[in-house]
Amino acid sequence: MAKITFLPEGRVIEVDAGTTILVGATRQGIAITHDCTEGICGTDIARIVAGAGNLSEKTEAEDLTLETMDAGPDDRLCCMAKVMGDVTVELQEDEG
Ligand code: FES
List the domain boundaries for the chain: 2-90
Contact 20, 78 (CB under 8 A): yes
Average pLDDT over residues 13-27: 98
Task: Find the 56 Cα to ligand 1 centroid distance in Å.
Answer: 15
For 48-59, what is each residue's pLDDT tens digit? Answer: 999 999 999 999
CATH number assigned to the domain covering 2-90: 3.10.20.30
Task: Find the 61 Cα to ligand 1 centroid distance in Å.
Answer: 10
Confidence of residue 67 (pLDDT cuts 50, 70, 90): very high
Helical spans, DSSP H, in 3-72: 21-27, 60-68
Q: Is 84 in the pocket of ligand 1 (CB under 6 A)?
A: no
Confidence of residue 94 (pLDDT cuts 50, 70, 90): low
Q: Is 41 in the pocket of ligand 1 (CB under 6 A)?
A: yes
Task: Find the 1 Cα to ligand 1 centroid distance in Å.
Answer: 24
For 29-50, what is each residue's pLDDT tens digit? Answer: 999 999 999 999 999 999 999 9
